[in-house]
Amino acid sequence: MKSKKYLTLADAKIIAASCEAEALRHNWAVSIAIVDDGGHLIWLQRLDNAPLTSMGIANGKARTAALGRRPSKAYEEVVGGGRNAFLSVPGDLTMLEGGEPIMVDGECAGAVGVSGVKSNEDAQVARFGISEFMGRQP
């Protein structure tokens, strides 16, 4: 039987705090969602003045990155490249940049989704939170 790494609530809190610090450093009002490898929500946080819609979008971006095992931007690029039929895929995906998978030893342990500012800035916040967390791992 195979064993796998998984995110705990304590892990999610560390990632969220790092994401929050990065967002506040740039004065970005965002929502931060952290999901497990199956796309199930572990953590959801909306910073002051973040748009209400950003909560659902952040969760969707995180879910998309976890289920796809790749940044949600990959799906945005497929659609942006003209493959509009891709919009019909099942799974309630959010095909916008800002969702980043948390990869551990080549496997997805979960994902972070951020929404509230420009998509590349959302992704920057998510990647920062993940990198800070991964830097603490033995």
Mean pLDDT of 30-46: 98
The 10s digit of each residue's pLDDT in 89-127 is: 888 899 999 999 999 999 999 999 999 999 999 999 999
Alpha carbon 108 to its chain centroid, in Å, reads 12
Angle at 93 between CA 87 and CA 8, to 5 degrees: 165
pLDDT band at 137, cuts 50/70/90?
Answer: confident
Alpha-helix residue ranges (DSSP H) falling in the chain: 9-25, 53-68, 73-80, 119-135
Say what the pLDDT of residue 89 is: 86
Mean pLDDT of 34-60: 98
- Please state, in angstroms and as integers, the Cα–Cα distance from residue 97 to each residue in 8, 11, 55, 105, following that order: 25, 23, 15, 24
- Please state, in angstroms and as integers, the Cα–Cα distance from residue 43 to each residue in 17, 40, 79, following that order: 11, 9, 28
The 10s digit of each residue's pLDDT in 54-99 is: 999 999 999 999 999 999 999 999 999 999 898 888 888 999 999 9
Mean pLDDT of 22-26: 98
Say what the pLDDT of residue 138 is: 63
Domains located in the chain, CATH noted: 9-133 (3.30.450.150)
pLDDT band at 12, cuts 50/70/90?
Answer: very high
DSSP state at residue 52: T
Say what the pLDDT of residue 59 is: 98
